[in-house]
Structures are given as C-alpha cells and as structure tokens.
Structure 1
Amino acid sequence: MRKIMILLFVLSATLSFSQEKSNQKIEPIGDLYEVTIYYDDGSIMQHGFMTKDKKLHASWESYYQNGNRKCVAIYDNGKKVGTWYYWFMDKKTKVVYKDNKIVEVEEMSIE
C-alpha cells in the first residue's frame, strides 16, 4: 500500500509539473532568461526576465486574462526597484520602490 501511495504522489507531482511547463516558455537571452507564462487559453499571463540563479530582473509585466495590463514592474536581481504601475478596474496605482521598499504611492483614476 505504501508503494502505491508513493507512486501516486510521484505521478501527480510529475503531471502537475509537466502541466505547469506547458504553460510557460523560457528562452536564454544573453545572461538572462526571457520568461513568458500563459493562461490555459493561450493568452499571456506574465512576461519578463530572470537571472540564471532564478531572480526576477529588469522588466516584468502581468496581464489579466482578457489581455488588459495588470502590472508593469522592474526588478534588480530579485529586488523591487523603480516605478511600478498597477491597474485594477477604474484605478491606476503608481508605486515607487527603492531596494525592495515602497517610497511613494499615487492612485489615479482611469478615464
């Protein structure tokens, strides 16, 4: 019985890992990897860059399933930096980060 449970665990982990892999594309670009993650319908969920040691780096964008932007972000070796923008319903929020810390927040209405 224990062997069956272990086999089922390994099989489910393998299936979920392979399913996750089919929804993403990772391509080497110089010293970075370009990463694109897709929703099940094929639309882009996230797109950005990652270092070889798997830290988010440079630009990173997230999208709602309908294709509208959700977030535009900037990372420096895994740290949040620079000006980020978030969109939610009729609001756009600007957040400025420095060394992974929020230094400014401004909320705007979208017309």
Structure 2
Amino acid sequence: MCYFEQTRWNCGYWKWGNFRQQCHKEYRTGETCGLKLVFQTSLLAAPCKLCDQRFKKERRIHKMAMDIERWQREGNRRATIEKTYQDIEEIQAQIDDLYRQHEQRQKTL
C-alpha cells in the first residue's frame, strides 16, 4: 500500500508516476510493498500518446484513400492502387491494436 502519483488523460488512459510515500507495512528504506495506491492524480487535457498515434494513422489512411480516388480517376495505376490498399490494411491493423491497448488500460483502474 505504497503511494504513487498518477497521470490521467481526458480519454481515460492513465499511467503511474513517481513514488511519493511509503506505507507502514514496508520498513526497508527505498523499498515498496508492491501494492500501489494513488497519492495524487494529475489530469491532462491533451490527448494521450496512444490517441495521438491513432489520430496520426487515421489521417494517413484518409490521405491514402484520397490518393486512391485520384489515381482511379487518372487511370493506369493499378499496381500502385493495390499496394496502397495493402498499406491501408496494415495501418488499420495497427490502429486496432492501439485501440485494444487503450481500452485495456482504461478498464484496469
């Protein structure tokens, strides 16, 4: 039951911060008992790192989709279009993974 700082973003994502206070169960200096309790929570209005990465990847997918539309109008770029569709699928898988990580962290506390 040692106390730690906590940082929480508006989206619900959080992380542990620095050690703040030792509990009475642990007598060794510099050691913690292993049970973390919140000493103080700092709220941040900015997006968390996972949300920021997800937004960047979503913007990239949007740009790729716009490029595909333009290439289809122009014609004669079939290989480029196919490659871009594959890239979009890979990036979408990364976005899904980031979303799962984010949801898992929100549910843990």
Short-chain TM bin? under 0.3
Higher percent of residues as helix:
2
* Greater relative contact order (CA < 8 Å, ≥ 6 in sequence): 2
User: Which one has a bigger Cα radius of gyration?
Assistant: 2
User: Normalization by structure 1: what TM-score?
Assistant: 0.22
